[in-house]
Structure 1
């Protein structure tokens, strides 16, 4: 019978679609090998009963996330995807499951860098796989974090507590559910970028990387870094600006920038950026005519993908829901003030 499945593409052809979600059902090992790209898979059933694989997936240009289950035991030898870090999070581990010839243990997340590996996946096994492009990790993480991730992956284990692994699995399941329920978000590049950053931050946040405690830098040094960061924020595309890029532009460490922002604004850098984006969303909703746009379309366009969290944050910030703001009659802008000029000139922050 082979493989069957369905996929939701969000903007015409797959080539023009930033993201893709779908479901695959496979009852033949050869068919499973074919649909398992970008893995190069050699599958050998070794247990009784018919082969069956069920997979629910999300694919973006830099990340692949999927949950899959197996009806019978199978041995797989793979060439892992070129240029990607691969991580396996057990949701329902099988008794005979092994990764890289080692029993599935509860003190970390099995992981691999590009190369070859072997695994035995037991009947009833269910896991979530996360594939992250190394270039994306390098862009979003500090050099120290990247080195720690690569060192851990070379040993085929990202250290994490059993509780952290459980939280990670539930959280990744939530991302799959969210994107499958609202696949229209994936036609918006800003929303896809936000999901990719969310995946990197979420995975790295649950593993134990070496953490060298840093003493606070002198205030003058922190202030210079803060000033450079504000200049960056002023002209950056805030839908894709992340902490690592902001630190690089500021020329200071993550901890130093955190101190500086709390000293000057009482907020962390990313909280401040999110506040800017919330206010920009409010201005866009006020300037939109009811019926021409929806809250969902505007939110996805501006890179907000967690609509439930957005609604809560928006209400906390402004005392009303985004839909109430959109429905309000807008009377237009008052004249803008620009010192030294008789005309009203405003240069908005880009990417809001």
Structure 2
């Protein structure tokens, strides 16, 4: 939808009186709104009030959408359609509000969701605030943190959870490796790296990583550097009971929780504000948490947990996933 002469004059007047970030916000807000309306016109097949043979639906008002940028909050209006749905592709990458989710394996081998928080980005500040909130609520004695090497999370863990052992997710690491090798070599490289995690002892795990780094380094020197640089974090699992290895090498259990949240939030698509996202995510996690508690199927067995906590009270037997 092109700006009319009247709209142009109003915009010019507002820009004259604005300065600094206010000027940036004014221009960005107007530009984004025009692009949103243009995309809606393409989907509908007609301009406002225009009758065409290719029209598929019509506008039915707008819904408000606040978009947060470094320059400030932009107030946008998303066209509503009576038939079908519409969300601007321009905003698609910003639609997901990042969620911090922390699930733990308890001392008796069970699983619990101990916290969830919603924010605009996964920065160090965001993660530090989340981790501090867990600590203030009494979280302590953490032995191992499994993470995806997100820079903001890494820095926050270093500052908030001093002395904890880190395990870098093997799945995310392999995906990072794919970014520096030809697509045709991906299967071979992934299979070679997987041999590191199939060794029977801690010494064998670390020796195999060195061997794999040398093997792949002949053709892919960047992969060799990544393996050697991340050796300590990739092999941290090997210092824990062997029965735990398969379950603490990656963030896969947490990813399953995230997929369930995503499945439920995709139904809603657009949330009016962060608290609305938090309410839905919390409800989903509460359901999953209750399932873990209601069905006594421990994630890790008593015997394997006793190796970590030999002085812990005896826990009644229960079915285990080990």
Name the TM tier (shorter chain). Answer: under 0.3
Larger relative helix fraction: 2
Larger radius of gyration: 2
Larger relative strand fraction: 1
Q: Give the TM-score, by structure 1 length.
A: 0.23
Q: Give the TM-score, by structure 2 length.
A: 0.24
